[in-house]
Chains A and B, each alone.
Chain A
């Protein structure tokens, strides 16, 4: 006995073993089928290795057999929370390739839908990360308010999640007569709800302790890893496509690119909350000024892109979403590549989660806003 105590006192460190834990593919906090092979020592994360491919659906390959309007409909299934931005990206790419100028009305409608979609996505992100951090009630409040946006979507385009609202040349239907009224009602309502979100979580001392100073992603790393969207902006990397490469109606409006400096979980959180306010401002600027006109230009029955390579990027709710189409002049593309924001964002996780605890890993993942089909495609 005395010897053991002696040994314990004299050795500087008590030897511990690292062990591997598979977080996922079936795990409540990975929001889908992501597998994180985590090396832990006690509670401390030593290494995280993301393994993807569990929900790989071969969308890029499938597109090679589809016509362009059909590709648009398929992009709903990637980042299902930014379905409209994905649709729009493909549509813009096709329109640019054919040099079709869409009516002003379409641009306005698309932009309003973009921002509504961003609001819906951020609401779901807010509530789901609340749940990851253990505040289950937040989850229901977020879903409750998101429902209003989905109703607006449904009224205009008939679907709630997989919108397929943009089509090459315009949008599928004109906006519903109630659209403007409902959007304005929603914004008035949501402006009262957002401070509530803040009171429930953002200001909460437990929440702040869980996120402040945790999982810091520096600006250099953000650029090096190609991190975009709110996650990149929280690290001070100005990467808003809406600002730098404006498309649709974004050139016509004034808005602020929200930026953070710290790059920790809390900044990422706060930035998305601020973005919700900004989205509402954008919608308010547009909603009353939708110009009259057609909601789509007449396109040919079979859309054929000229030979060449085309790229279009948009700002989805998670970051820069890019569509790269190689066409050989036929009605199907030769090759399509989607640049999904989640993929680049996810792979920083090993870099920034090292040395933190498992609970922090969950918090970091929550503030990264991962959508697995977006990563896996």
Chain B
């Protein structure tokens, strides 16, 4: 007899646990305003990335088309996967001294792991992380970027 009651109790407690589970899902079913889906390309304008988001490496230029990169190559060394290549060139300064400056700061976005090590390594804060995240492209060659803009110069007063 006892086992019979156990049998009945088992059925009811089992059904009860099932119903509590169903209550949870029902709660979310009937509160559609809690939905978490974001309609991505449509809400593009409202998306704001966190200002520390690591989307790509950029080199900020000021209004005179000047940047802070000295071409020291520390970022190239810090990068774990060779995403940065520094090509420097020699120029003559006004005083007639030879000086090496940056020619091209080449950045391979396709290889970058967004680890932030190059930004940490840079002694003159010339590069930083940008917030752009929509990098997909049809053409792989667009992932190789030259960070210093054409015709740009190094800012005054940046120590080497």
* Chain A residues within 8 Å of B, Cβ to Cβ: 66-67, 69-70, 73-74, 137, 141, 144, 147, 154-159, 162, 164, 167, 172-173, 176, 196, 199-201, 203-206, 301
Within 8 A of A (CB), among B46-69: 50, 52-54
* CB <8 Å contact, B25 and A158: no
Q: Across the interface, which residues of A come within 8 angstroms of B129, CB to CB? A: 158
Total contacts A to B, CB within 8 angstroms? 67
Q: Across the interface, which residues of B come within 8 angstroms of A162, CB to CB? A: 113-115
Task: Give the distance in Å from the alpha carbon of A204 to the alpha carbon of B15 in the complex.
Answer: 9
The size of the chain B interface, using a CB distance under 8 A, is: 26
Task: Give the distance in Å from the alpha carbon of A167 to the alpha carbon of B117 in the complex.
Answer: 9
B112–chain A nearest beta-carbon distance, Å: 11
Sample of 17 A–B contacts (CB below 8 Å) = A74-B80, A154-B52, A157-B52, A164-B115, A164-B117, A172-B116, A172-B120, A173-B52, A176-B50, A176-B52, A199-B21, A200-B21, A200-B25, A204-B21, A205-B13, A205-B17, A301-B74
Q: Across the interface, which residues of A come within 8 angstroms of B17, CB to CB? A: 203-205
**Residue of A137, A173, A203 touching B25 (CB-CB under 8 A):** A137
Q: Across the interface, which residues of B come within 8 angstroms of A201, CB to CB? A: 21
Task: Give the distance in Å from the alpha carbon of A144 to the alpha carbon of B114 in the complex.
Answer: 25
Q: Are A206 and B18 also in contact (CB < 8 A) when A74-B80, A173-B52, A200-B25 are?
A: yes
**Residue of B21, B25, B53, B113 touching A73 (CB-CB under 8 A):** B113
With both beta carbons as reference points, the residue of chain B lying nearest to A137 in the complex is identified as B25
Secondary structure class of chain A's binding surface, majority of residues? helix
Task: Give the distance in Å from the alpha carbon of A201 to the alpha carbon of B17 in the complex.
Answer: 9
Tell yes or no: B136 within 8 A of A by CB. no
With both beta carbons as reference points, the residue of chain B lying nearest to A145 in the complex is identified as B36
Q: Which of B52, B54, B78, B80 has the most CB of A within 10 A?
A: B80
B121–chain A nearest beta-carbon distance, Å: 8
Q: Are A70 and B117 also in contact (CB < 8 A) when A158-B50, A173-B52, A205-B14 are?
A: yes
Q: Across the interface, which residues of A come within 8 angstroms of B1, CB to CB? A: none
Tell yes or no: B31 within 8 A of A by CB. no
Q: Which 7 A-B pairs have the closest CB atoms?
A: A70-B80, A158-B54, A205-B14, A158-B52, A73-B115, A205-B17, A155-B50
A260–chain B nearest beta-carbon distance, Å: 21
* CB <8 Å contact, A196 and B120: no
* CB <8 Å contact, B117 and A196: no
Q: Which of B36, B50, B53, B129 has the most CB of A within 10 A?
A: B50
Q: Across the interface, which residues of A come within 8 angstroms of B52, CB to CB? A: 154-158, 173, 176
